[in-house]
Structure 1
Amino acid sequence: MESTKREPGAQGEHPGTEPVTLENQGRPRTDWIVYGVTAVLSAAFVIWGMADTGSLSSAAQSTLDWLLANVGWLFVLAATGFVIFSLWLAFSRYGRIPLGQEGDEPEFRTVSWIAMMFSAGMGIGLMFFGIAEPLTHFVEPPPGTDPAQSEAAIETAMATTMFHWTLHPWSIYAVLGLAIGYSHYRRGRSQLISSAFVPLLGRRHAEGSVSKLIDILALFATLFGSAASLGIGALQIRTAMQEAGWISSLGTTVLVLIILVLTICFILSAVSGVARGIQWLSNINMVLAAFLAVFVFVVGPTVFILELLPTSIGVYIQDFGEMASRSGATGGEPMKTFLANWTIFYWAWWISWAPFVGMFLARISRGRTIRQFVGGVILVPSVVSLVWFAIFGGTAIHQQHDGLNPFGNGSEEQITFNVLGNLPWEVLTAIVVMVLVAIFFVSGADAASIVMGTLSQRGNPGPSRWVVIFWGAMTGGVAAIMLVIGGDKALNGIQNITFIGALPFAIVLILLCFSLAKDLRSDPMMRRQNKGAEVLEDAVVTGVRRHRGDFELQIQPSEASPDDAGPRVPLRKEGAAPEDTVRRSDGSS
């Protein structure tokens, strides 16, 4: 049974000193409304795709066109808003608040913590787009910017890539991670996204029908976001297998088989537990990714890459406002197409990943302060992304500039191997990429399946194996349908469904910012700080009034408190004279 508890600050407790006990979930209990509704609708989507692929594809495209025309602006504004909100929390007085009780120690070492959050957050995306995106923006710059393949286009390509992969995505993750980590480990609520809405909605609404809707939307976003990652990973693994000479066909059957194998792998990893599964895989992948990056850096255009690092930072900062304000209002259809294929797709993808990445980050970040959390979650991966894109994107741009044409026909999954094909050890690097993509996906998807199980079983951090297996299998099914409805342009099918699935949860994230801000204002540490400032101000005013500024402050037990309660600053009631804790420096009253 779940234990009942008072919210911190209940009557009779001194502000900032009350203990918080985490709710005891006990045996996992499935929320059959949240789980059942989401499972039925997800299964219906898979069945629809299997029975009538053309109809589903047409419906998805029509829905996408309407949403982009009418609410695409919401993603553009919300993503930048999350950046501002996260950084404000880190640099404000709230930054000292821990995700847990004061004195809690972090569960994981910093290196493992960073590796785990990086693998879960966007590892597979970096492998897929790390070379393809900078090169694509160099060959086909954003509308209204620079001539294709010009010197100026290099700067624009790197700045646009940084815009999509640094502050914005990790701020989206940070918002949800902070809200869940604070609500669960600091306030003792269940580990559900809906529980973080208690300050905004009140406990009755946040635990009723509204909470069911919030958790259902989170489940849908998580399912479609992780399925999109699986689809992208399958595309790149298929191409890697062809480059290594293992297969000759690039048909849909190969994709489905790859999805099946990956699904089995991440389900096995998920049921093994966080410490043994995700942490082990994340550490392995961090080492492999580092070796691949060093290899490309050494055998590639080393000096050009080094020169590109400061250039990318400078142009990103310089063009930040312009990139953040791009919308369909200017630029016509070319701009709308660019936003749909790149910026808005990314924001939708990051938002759809936010439930499971945010909950996973919260789960591994207990004991860290808000400032440490934001610094680790936003700044560290952003720096790694900068270095990654400078190495791989810089190598691709340099090759294109030299006439090697790794861009080819513009296929994102092929560009990576075109670039590696112009470097030594082509087959070996193709195999390393394939292994990296597979492990990146497994380490991220097993986190997703555990989180979906958590959402299905009332926030229990250790969901039953059967529900984890179910959501793992459903992720594979949705990914297969995404690829099939895309036809020859499989990535388009992934983009369309991801955007549609992420939109409702984007609204949830916006409201979550207001709820978290309200929650933090009443934090025990903040109330203690406010009360201390109030008492100190009263004492100083009294000292100035009574002793003309010649006084000192003392702390002593009040008459109403027991002797063994320890020293505390006496508080006066409104309208009453303050206790005489202010004395002249010579000891007189």
Structure 2
Amino acid sequence: MNKATQVFWYAIAISIIVVLWGAIAPENLESFTSTVTGNLTARFGWFYLLLVIAILVFCVYMMFSRFGNVKLGKKDDVPEFSRLSWFAMLFSAGMGMGLVFWTTAEPISHAFTSSPLAEEGSNQAVQDALKYSFFHWGIHAWAIYGIVGLVLAYFKFHRGTPGLISATLTPLFGHKLMKGPLGKAIDVLAVFATVVGVAATLGFGSAQITGGLSFLFGTPNNFMVQLIVLTVATALFIWSAWSGIGRGIKYLSNINMGLAAVLLILLFIVGPTMYIVNMFTHTLGVYITDFFRMSLRLAPMNEDNRSWINAWTIFYWAWWISWAPFVGIFIARVSKGRTVKEFMFSVLLLPSLVCFIFFSVFGVSALQLEQLGTATISTFTLETSTFGVLAEYPLGTFMSILTIFVIAIFFITSADSATFVLGMLSTNGTLNPSNSVKITWGLIQSSVAAVVVYFGGTQGLQNMLIIAALPFALVIILMGISFLKDIQTEMPVRRK
């Protein structure tokens, strides 16, 4: 089945409604969604914290349990991609451009603008800044992606079910219910979250590329240039999606991980090398020491601290949950033939370590500039903060140009991964959706991004994504229960 299903048309209709809302009344969309988002973070913060730590425990358990050797496929299936290509693709889809965007901006914000605990600008605030950046982009985020990817890969490749979120819940609710309105609603929710999330990312990415070009070459930093960037990127990621997952997405992901590694090594060498190494080592220690304290910190008796937790930690947990359908499905798609243990180890630990290294190199380089008074990076916009840091070091122009390329390719790989996933979800879970469906989704994503950016509704879209996270959080719980129920029928406990 390679034709568009009802899920395709329902999701498009909802996306158009939201885009029209964002275009006609962006302030109303932002106001309404901000109110709902505020209520969700205030009332369900405890739920998100407990859910994410439970998901992490589940993932670690699966890594070391008797199910660890279960293959995500049939007995004779071998991995479709090499370990390097596999890791490059799952990392590009899972973090990608956001990593370049936030590795500078988040530590600077925590240290000098809005500290989680200490006085802004103090040594403690600087230490906390890197620790909480590790926390927000580390193992918790990848556990959310990991549980969704594991369950989808198991049911798709081991059980032979369609590659749909709804199909993973069949052991709990039965085929009839999951092929009916409830199953369609779950799949539409996954499609909508993906469209909105990627559209917001495309908006951020085009803004950062436009800001970087303006910072380096003095080009206009306006919507027209941003639209040109978005158009070129759209053509490239549609071409990549057309080429297929084994060519376009794989090649671009491999190239970009290589370029990102070159950029990382260059900044590590020309930047404050020893300070980076020392801060990485120290922060890794305090991250491990304070792991559970941060994981369950809600500050019920301190309104300022609670507001910070709502704005950062709860927001991030909801953000990762809302991205889980897209990233989880893509990770599942490229993980055929891996064992549960190999899958969990690679998805949980390796990307987290890479994130820690990126934050240490970029974040510490930025923090030292501000500490020494060399440059006030905290006054830069989010889009230009990374370029402001690079400008203060040797080879700054070269590294900034390389950064634009890295952002652009991450931009393309995230978008074409999403296009592929949307094609799967709207064609009954087929592993190779038709090019016409993929192109349609590519154009829709870019149109949503362009319209929303033009009318200033980006914040409203982000809020919409966070709102969608709550019902999908319940879906993730059901997916985990369904997976355990099914896999235990295959590997019952041996009683003596």
> TM-score category by the smaller chain?
over 0.9
Distance 2:18 2:452 in 1: 10
Structure 2 counterpart of 1:344, from 296, 303, 314: 314
What value does the CA root-mean-square deviation take over the aligned residues?
A: 1.9
What are the superposed Cα offsets for residues 160-204 of structure 1, whole Å, 9 maximum, x if unpaired? Answer: 001111111111111111011000111111111111111111222
CA distance in 2, matches of 1:505, 1:480: 26
Residue 110 of structure 1 deviates from its aligned partner by 0.8
Match of residue 263, structure 1, among 217, 227, 234: 234
Segment drifting more, 411-420 vs 188-197? 411-420
* In 2: Cα distance, 1:266 partner to 1:330 partner: 48
Distance apart, 1:275 and its partner CA: 1.0
Does structure 1 residue 327 correspond to structure 2 residue 327? no
Provide the residue aligned with 1:31 in structure 2. 5
Counting only pairs closer than 5 Å after superposition, residues 204-223 of structure 1 correspond to structure 2 as 204-223=176-195
Q: How does 1:146-545 map to 2 (within 5 A)?
A: 146-248=118-220, 250-327=221-298, 329-332=300-303, 334-409=304-379, 411-484=381-454, 486=456, 492-493=459-460, 495-523=462-490, 526-527=491-492, 530=493, 533=494, 537=496
What amino acid is the match of 1:501? A
Paired residue for 2:100, among 99, 116, 127? Answer: 127
User: What stretches of structure 1 of length at least 5 have no aligned partner?
Assistant: 1-26, 538-589
Deviates more, 1:409-418 or 1:40-49: 409-418
Q: Which residue of 1 aligns with 2:70?
A: 97
Cα 1:193–1:41 change in 2 (3 A) is: same
Render the CA deviation track for 1:401-421: whole Å, top value 9, x for unaligned. 111234242522221111111
Separation in 2, partners of 1:139, 1:484: 31
Give a deviation string over 1:560-581, Cα, whole Å, max 9, x none.
xxxxxxxxxxxxxxxxxxxxxx
TM-score w.r.t. the length of structure 1 is: 0.81
Describe the shift of the 1:147–1:54 C-alpha distance in structure 2 as closer, same or farther (beyond 3 A). Answer: closer
Q: What is the CA–CA distance in structure 1 between the aligned matches of 2:460 and 2:186, rounded to whole Å?
A: 26
Contact 1:164 1:346 in 2 (8 A): yes
Question: Using a 3 Å threshold, how does the CA distance of structure 1 residues 252 and 63 change in structure 2: closer, same or farther?
Answer: farther
Give, in angstroms, the shift of residue 433 of structure 1: 1.2
Question: Contact 1:155 / 1:315 at 8 angstroms: preserved in 2?
Answer: no
Which structure has the larger Rg? 1
> What's the offset of the Cα at 1:129?
0.5
Write the distance in 1 (CA, Å) between the matches of 2:170 and 2:197: 26
The equivalent of 2:32 in structure 1 is: 59
User: Which stretches of structure 1, 4 residues or more, deviate above 4 A after TM superposition?
Assistant: 484-487
**8 Å Cα contact 2:109-2:115 kept in structure 1:** no
Within 1, Cα distance between the matches of 2:56 and 2:451? 33
1:98 corresponds to which letter in structure 2? K
Please give the alpha-carbon distance, in whole angstroms, between the structure 1 residues aligned to 2:387 and 2:4. 45
* Paired residues, number: 496
Instruction: Tell me the residue number matched to 2:16.
Output: 43
Letter of the structure 2 residue corresponding to residue 497 of structure 1 = M
Letter in 2 for 1:257: I
Check the 8 A contact 1:454/1:463 in 2, yes or no.
yes
* Correspondence for 1:563: none
Q: Which amino acid aligns with 1:290?
A: A
SS at match of 2:67: helix
Read off the aligned partner of 1:514 and give its amino acid letter: I
Tell me if structure 2 keeps the 8 A contact 1:155–1:312: yes
Deviations 1:18-63 (A, max 9, x none): xxxxxxxxx413222x112111111111122222333323322232
Bigger RCO of structures 1 and 2 (CA < 8 A, at least 6 apart): 2
Structure 2 SS opposite 1:306: helix
Alpha-carbon contact 1:486-1:494 (below 8 Å) kept: no
Q: Structure 2 length as normaliser, TM-score?
A: 0.95
Distance 1:70 1:365, change over 3 A: same
2:30–2:463 Cα contact (<8 Å) kept: no
Q: Which piece of structure 1 moves more, 209-218 or 151-160?
A: 151-160
Distance 1:330 1:405, change over 3 A: farther
Residue type of the alignment partner of 1:57:
E
Write the letter of the residue equivalent to 1:349.
Answer: W
Residue 298 of structure 1: CA displacement?
Answer: 0.3
Question: How much has 1:81 moved relative to structure 2?
Answer: 1.9
Provide the secondary structure at the position in 2 that maps to 1:214: helix
For the 8 Å contact 1:263–1:476, the answer to whether it is kept is yes
CA contact (8 A) 1:141 1:156 kept: no
Distance, in Å, in 2 between the alignment partners of 1:259 and 1:61 is 27
Are 1:85 and 2:58 an aligned pair? yes
State the partner residue of 2:87.
114
Q: Which amino acid aligns with 1:29?
A: K
Contact 1:169–1:350 (CA<8 Å) still a contact in 2? yes
For each residue in 1:356-405, what CA deviation from the matched residue of structure 2 results, as whole angstroms up to 9, or x when unmatched?
A: 21111111111111110000011111111111111111111111111123
Aligned counterparts of 2:344 and 2:412: Cα–Cα separation in 1: 25
- CA offsets per residue over residues 513-541 of structure 1, 9 Å max, x none? 11111122112xx14xx4xx45xx4xxxx
1:450: Cα distance to partner?
1.0
Paired amino acid for 2:285: G
Q: Greater helix share, 1 or 2?
A: 2
